[in-house]
Structure 1
Amino acid sequence: MTLSRRAFAAIAASLALAASSGWAAAQDRVSVVATTGMIADAAREVGGDMVDVQALMGPGVDPHAYRQTRSDIVALANADLVLWNGLYLEAQMEEFLLELGRDQPVVAVAEGVPEDRLIGSADYDGRYDPHLWMTPELWSRVVETVRDALIEVRPEGADTFTANAEDYLSELSDLADYTAEALSSVPADRRVLVTAHDAFGYFGAAYDFEVIGIQGISTESEAGLRRVSELVDLLVARDIGAVFVETSVSDRNIRALIEGAAAEGHEVAIGGELYSDAMGEPGTYRGTYVGMIDSNVTTIARALGGEAPETGMQDLLN
């Protein structure tokens, strides 16, 4: 449904008024609302004690299909800063967020990455693949955009935000080193990553993996029987023995692949569960960006014949 600017303003104003008392106690902090958990995590790391961060989309939520709720509108209308990915990740919310940005600070953090670093979208003409968080190096650029957005909203916190960002970027550099080392141990002929949807394009380009998604870049694209049949033939012909499910996408198509290959006499196992469009449970290691990527890298490396500690990067830190 398309909201006119007048209708949006009326809804946001009425809901914000109803919730305003609940926000008064947090006035001393910068109230940040982020669409995805990955962006919220970056805001918490950079903002520290000076921010109060809410993520609209939790574990297992697909951002491609997500639509704002009434409570989301309240949160967004009350926020000092709204952070969203952009690049058409939040496809169903884009018009709403662009309209919101006419009246308050709203930043599409992924759209600050230079175009020459982006991969085109096979699903939408003139759009780019939005899954930048799949490589720590690209995500570091997003963290810098988050830092700058916080400084713009709260200039007096510039020193704190800058120092926090430097510490976090150092951590992401360590993650990038671990990622490159673990993935380089996978034999070249086994660097084929078959997943539920094509969220790993930047990952494949950075670490020399062939990435095959059953669905396209958006989970809104459909995978027909012909596509599944083609991929079954590919698994059999190339002797691919592992495929991966995703926490935010149904495993229906992956199961169909496995069953189809079995009917052809070829055994395919699930190599593990990957975090593609959402992080793990809040309060857990995998509920952080670092833990999410560490888990993905470790799972992929071990499933495809590479070498990585069973508990991933955590082993190296202890």
Structure 2
Amino acid sequence: MKNTFYILLSILLISCGTQKEDNGKLKVVTTTTMITDLVENIGGDLIEVEGMMGSGVDPHLYKPSEGDMTKLANADIIFYNGLHLEGKLVDVFEKMNARGKATIAISNALDKSTLIGSDYFASNYDPHIWFDINYWTQMSHYVTETLVKNNPENKVAFEKNRDLYLEKISALKTELSDKINELSQEKRILVTAHDAFNYYGRSFKFEVVGLQGLSTATEAGVKDVQRITKFIIEHKIKAVFVESSVPRRTVEALQAAVRAQNHEVQIGGELFSDALGSAGTEEGTYIGMYRHNVNTIVNALK
């Protein structure tokens, strides 16, 4: 696979160029489903958007295909998360950027000193930045500025779309705060498959515990299960959660380990962490995903 990857990368760099659709619209490629949704909200029907990753796809482990390379080569702008979320694609984007392709890490909109650090992850920052709604607002402005720079004739429309979207984001934040306030502080402990929810925890005063680290490339071991089993029993936690982009088996193993200690913990439901839900569903949007997660968490932990 390594050799195949570098062959595809070589083909991409050779063919790399700025091309537009016959309709004159900017052709934009995005990586994760969250970024795809954001760009579509701001660009509307003024741009052509192609997302590389679909529902349930884990960006930590994603390997680009030949079709992905073609999309990237034909794109006017590429938006990606950055902070090493996209794994092997980081090499691709760095080389494309060096050749003049507009490859935009939306995490560049943020002050790095405010990010959650990690001693164990390659970038030294937690890349799950979409779970901080204030960050999402900043990144919305950044995406708008990039689209305007590349398509100034549609500046007014892009900014209008952004303002309408941010009104919805502001209303979402108020709605979620009200819902979370139904849960007492001592019950705000979130145990999930991997450490994707630390920005959520910081925003809404949750203690967050993940079986795996920030990247799903590192699997949970027996010691991790034992440690968190003890934690669940000591804190009388009612429910733990699976994630749509991470196999259920680690959380089910945790549930079995708790049961073996004569305690019960329920699987409180499925959360969307590294990818949105299916296209065309409420959970297939950033707003719907966040609403689903909060309702699932609060209802299970009450």
Q: Is this a same-fold pair by TM over 0.5?
A: yes
SS in 2 for 1:273: strand
Match in the other structure for 1:270:
267
Q: 1:219 to 1:80 in 2, by over 3 A?
A: same
For the Cα contact (< 8 Å) 1:15–1:73, is it kept in 2?
no
- Residue 26 of structure 2 corresponds to residue 37 of structure 1: no
Equivalent in 94, 101, 105 of residue 102 of structure 2: 105
Match in the other structure for 2:140:
143
1:58-113 superposed Cα distances (whole Å, 9 cap, x missing partner) = 01100001011100000011011100000111122101111111221110001221
For the Cα contact (< 8 Å) 1:279–1:287, is it kept in 2?
yes
- Residue 59 of structure 2 corresponds to residue 63 of structure 1: yes
SS in 1 for 2:176: helix
Matches within 5 A, 1:244-259: 244-259=241-256
Rounded Cα–Cα distance in structure 2 between residues aligned with 1:193 and 1:6: 42
Match in the other structure for 2:186:
189
Match in the other structure for 1:77:
73
Q: Letter of the aligned partner of 1:115 in structure 2? A: K
Q: 1:216 to 1:138 in 2, by over 3 A?
A: same
Match in the other structure for 1:314:
none
Q: 1:267 to 1:5 in 2, by over 3 A?
A: closer
For the Cα contact (< 8 Å) 2:243–2:273, is it kept in 1?
yes
Quote how far apart the aligned CAs of 1:116 are. 2.7
Q: 1:180 to 1:95 in 2, by over 3 A?
A: same
Match in the other structure for 1:88:
84
Quote how far apart the aligned CAs of 1:231 are. 0.9
Task: Show structure 1 runs of 5+ residues with no match.
Answer: 306-318
Match in the other structure for 2:286:
289
For the Cα contact (< 8 Å) 2:5–2:64, is it kept in 1?
no
Rounded Cα–Cα distance in structure 1 between residues aligned with 2:276 and 2:161: 21
TM value normalised by structure 2: 0.94
Aligned length: 300
Match in the other structure for 1:171:
168
Quote how far apart the aligned CAs of 1:138 are. 1.4
Q: 1:249 to 1:303 in 2, by over 3 A?
A: same
Match in the other structure for 1:308:
none
Matches within 5 A, 1:236-251: 236-251=233-248
1:30-63 superposed Cα distances (whole Å, 9 cap, x missing partner) = 1110001110111111001101111101011000
Q: 1:3 to 1:262 in 2, by over 3 A?
A: closer
Equivalent in 192, 195, 199 of residue 196 of structure 2: 199
Q: Letter of the aligned partner of 2:249 in structure 1? A: R
For the Cα contact (< 8 Å) 2:121–2:214, is it kept in 1?
no
Q: 1:214 to 1:2 in 2, by over 3 A?
A: same
How well do the aligned residues superpose, as a CA RMSD in angstroms? 2.2
- Residue 157 of structure 2 corresponds to residue 160 of structure 1: yes
Match in the other structure for 2:131:
134
For the Cα contact (< 8 Å) 1:80–1:104, is it kept in 2?
yes
TM value normalised by structure 1: 0.89
For the Cα contact (< 8 Å) 1:135–1:176, is it kept in 2?
no
For the Cα contact (< 8 Å) 1:67–1:92, is it kept in 2?
yes
SS in 1 for 2:172: helix
Q: Letter of the aligned partner of 2:180 in structure 1? A: L
Q: 1:265 to 1:8 in 2, by over 3 A?
A: closer
For the Cα contact (< 8 Å) 1:87–1:129, is it kept in 2?
yes
Identity of aligned residues (%): 37
Quote how far apart the aligned CAs of 1:301 are. 1.2
Rounded Cα–Cα distance in structure 2 between residues aligned with 1:243 and 1:7: 41
Quote how far apart the aligned CAs of 1:126 are. 5.2
Match in the other structure for 2:50:
54
Quote how far apart the aligned CAs of 1:5 are. 9.7
Match in the other structure for 1:211:
208
1:142-178 superposed Cα distances (whole Å, 9 cap, x missing partner) = 1111111111111111111111101101110011111
